[in-house]
Structure 1
Amino acid sequence: MDEGLFNYERTHTLLDGSEGGESLLKAVEAMRKAANDGHAAAANNFGTLLHHGRGVHQDLTAARAYYHQAAETGLPNARFNLGFLLVRGLGGEKDEARARTLFLLAAEDGDLDAITHLGAMMMAGAGGPQDFESALSWWARGVDLGDSRCAFNLGIAHAGGHAGDVNFVAAWYWFKQAQRFGNDGATAELDRLDMVMSEEEQAAVIACTSR
Structure 2
Amino acid sequence: MSAASNIHSLLARLLPERIVPAPARPGQRHRLFAGVGMPSQQALPGERFGLIDRLDEAVDLQAVYHDLCRQALLGNVAALNDLGWIWLNGKYWRGDTSLAGHLLRMAALQGNAAAWFNLGQQHYFGKGVDVSYANAAEYYRHAFERGMVHAAAALGDLYEEEVCDGDQVWQVDALEAYQWFLRGAQRGEKRCRFEVGYRLLHGVNVEADARAGLYWLELAAATGVMHAAEELAVYFSSRDAARYLGWRDQAIKLGSKLALTMKLEDQIQP
* TM > 0.5 fold call: yes
TM-score range, shorter chain: 0.7 to 0.9
Structure 2 residue identity aligned to 1:12: D
1:125 paired with 2:203, answer: yes
| Aligned AA (2:140) | Y
* Distance in structure 1 (CA, Å) of the matches to 2:257 and 2:122: 28
Alignment match, 2:179 = 101
- Does the aligned pair in 2 maintain the 1:168–1:193 contact within 8 Å? no
Aligned to 1:114: 192
Answer yes or no: is the 8 Å Cα contact 1:96–1:126 preserved in 2. Answer: no
**1:58-207 to 2 correspondence within 5 Å?**
58-73=131-146, 75-89=148-162, 92-159=170-237, 161=238, 165=239, 167=240, 169-196=242-269
Q: Given residue 76 of structure 1, which amino acid in structure 2 is its aligned partner?
A: V
- Computing the radius of gyration over CA atoms, which structure comes out larger, 1 or 2? 2
* Structure 1 residues 157 and 48, CA gap change in structure 2 (3 angstroms): farther
CA contact (8 A) 1:47 1:64 kept: yes
Q: Name whichever structure is richer in helix by fraction.
A: 1
Give the counterpart of 1:19 among 76, 91, 98.
91
Q: Say if 2:123 and 2:131, in contact at 8 Å, map to a contact too.
A: yes
2: CA distance, partners of 1:100 / 1:122: 10
Gaps of 5+ in 1: 200-211
The alignment partner of 1:146 has SS state of coil
Give the drift of 1:53.
Answer: 4.3
Q: TM-score, with normalisation over the residues of structure 1?
A: 0.73
Number of corresponding residues: 192
Shift in Å, 1:38: 5.1
Please tell me the residue identity of whatever aligns with 1:10: L
CA distance in 1: counterparts of 2:78 and 2:123, whole angstroms: 16
Deviation at 1:18, TM superposition (A): 4.8
Output the aligned Cα RMSD: 3.2
Identity %: 22
**1:51 alignment counterpart:** 124
Stretches of structure 2 lacking an aligned partner (at least 5 in a row): 8-71, 164-168
